[in-house]
Amino acid sequence: NAGVMQNPRHLVRRRGQEARLRCSPMKGHSHVYWYRQLPEEGLKFMVYLQKENIIDESGMPKERFSAEFPKEGPSILRIQQVVRGDSAAYFCASSVIPGPKNTDTQYFGPGTRLTVL
């Protein structure tokens, strides 16, 4: 049973370019969460999505960042006009039911490491 898959694993962009990060949740999981980890820091929640719905995007920067989880295909985190401060590891997690509970938890993918030159 494949785990959470993310691609690409490493992404290099120049300032002003667009970055697209993809996440395929575990089989049977319909809840997806994106977290960002800046160097030497903990993970910060960005957005929570269900199929075709953004449930909570309170952790997303107001500009340049967007996320989607279409009916078919992976969840996409899109960063437009990247800046050096966007350099970070972006982790996707998925779960069977909403949120971490005593019957389930969030399973993390391997992450995408974005470097902005």
Partner 1 sequence: QKEVEQNSGPLSVPEGAIASLNCTYSDRGSQSFFWYRQYSGKSPELIMSIYSNGDKEDGRFTAQLNKASQYVSLLIRDSQPSDSATYLCAAPPMDSSYKLIFGSGTRLLVRP
Binding marks (x or -) toward partner 1, 24..53, rule CB under 8 A?
A: -------x-x-x----xxxxxx--x-----
Residues that bind partner 1 (rule: CB under 8 A) add up to a total of 27
The residue with tokens 């009916």 is 71
The binder of partner 1 chosen from 18, 51, 56, 83 (CB under 8 A): 56
d(CA 64, CA 27): 30
102 binds partner 1 (CB under 8 A): yes
Q: Which residues bind partner 1 (CB under 8 A)?
A: 31, 33, 35, 40-45, 48, 55-56, 58-59, 91, 98-102, 105-111
